[in-house]
Structure 1
């Protein structure tokens, strides 16, 4: 028998008000980010997954309504199917649309919290944290462990996150935290090269 704790009316506590969203969207557009998948960001997500030894990793850009995984690593490497995000979770795509599986509603997952909080988030076992254990990704996708850091550029805007996810509890420790923060800083440097016409 399972017990579903009551949830507050409206948005989950996990998804705090995001006052910076309009400025973030303008900045992402200026950098040409957040609207299409990019091989270089998929490769970065692959590296993240390798470093952390996890099945899933993402480079995630967030607007007012949804999250977009511009970089995505899945266990089987098949990025055209609706994984790791079930269709019921995806927002704004249909089963025939390119990039299915790269969109997720803002109320799902932990990256929106990281962006608003502007700090890394370490959840070795999501179920140990009542504030996060009730998030839909826990029951619908099976997420048990999360490690993410914000991508904060020189303007002070948090563009999104880099994160790794496992379906089992993981002892990330200080080494994991430092690694994800270091990789976030590395990616921000690469992203900022796009300004003024520079590429990666």
Structure 2
């Protein structure tokens, strides 16, 4: 565990690929709201929310210091992330989140999908700030591993109530993650 600024233990796993990922994100022009092509990322997040029937879904790129919601679906359709409450940092319309918040950093380091039917059932995850700040109770997330083998971020769906995702939920979130990686590869081929 890494010490947290408040003296509590930080349960976010150590990320040994952070520098490599950050360089790859910069090379791809990802990790910050740069141009209109990010609208397609929002549309992708909308589709994930529809498929999973969740109020929130995110296409999330993670660098060494923070998370960036390149694609965002919220219940009210607010693209700036205001629905994410105090957990979303100011700047870029609230599309940034501290690196130690949420479950996507775990997916990134594990390089495997994660299903949490009720985050409160897992002591390691129940104390995460997003539980209190946003009210997240269930989570589905899958890594975005590009052609170079770098895990750039995640696609995730979250709900404010426990959900019985099961194996079907795991399969459901893996498919859009694979689709999104293909979308990134096409984007890179057009903008080498």
Q: Same fold (TM over 0.5)?
A: yes
- Does the residue aligned with 2:51 lie in a helix, a strand or coil? helix
Does residue 90 (structure 1) correspond to residue 113 (structure 2)? The answer is: no
2:175 maps to 182
Distance 2:155 2:74 in 1: 14
Tell me if structure 1 keeps the 8 A contact 2:75–2:83.
no
Q: Which residues of 2 match residues 1-200 of structure 1 at below 5 A?
A: 9=7, 11-13=9-11, 15-36=12-33, 38-80=38-80, 82-86=82-86, 89-91=87-89, 93=90, 97=91, 99-198=92-191
Task: Give the TM-score normalised by the residue count of structure 2.
Answer: 0.90
- Does the residue aligned with 1:39 lie in a helix, a strand or coil? helix
Q: CA RMSD in A?
A: 1.7
Tell me if structure 2 keeps the 8 A contact 1:125–1:145.
yes
Q: Following TM superposition, by how much is the alpha carbon of 1:18 offset from its aligned partner in structure 2, in angstroms?
A: 0.8
- Does the residue aligned with 2:161 lie in a helix, a strand or coil? coil
Q: Which moved more, 1:42-51 or 1:28-37?
A: 28-37
Q: Following TM superposition, by how much is the alpha carbon of 1:153 offset from its aligned partner in structure 2, in angstroms?
A: 0.8
Q: Following TM superposition, by how much is the alpha carbon of 1:11 offset from its aligned partner in structure 2, in angstroms?
A: 4.8
Question: What is the CA deviation profile of residues 8-40 of structure 1, one whole-angstrom value per residue up to 9, with x for unaligned ones?
Answer: 946522x11111011101111111111117100
Tell me if structure 1 keeps the 8 A contact 2:81–2:95.
no
- Does the residue aligned with 2:139 lie in a helix, a strand or coil? strand
| Higher helix content, 1 or 2 | 2
Q: Following TM superposition, by how much is the alpha carbon of 1:174 offset from its aligned partner in structure 2, in angstroms?
A: 1.2
- Does the residue aligned with 2:105 lie in a helix, a strand or coil? helix
Distance 1:148 1:71 in 2: 14
5+ long unaligned stretches in structure 1: 1-7
Distance 1:111 1:40 in 2: 21
Q: Which moved more, 1:63-72 or 1:27-36?
A: 27-36
- Does the residue aligned with 1:193 lie in a helix, a strand or coil? helix
Distance 2:177 2:20 in 1: 20
- Does the residue aligned with 2:88 lie in a helix, a strand or coil? coil
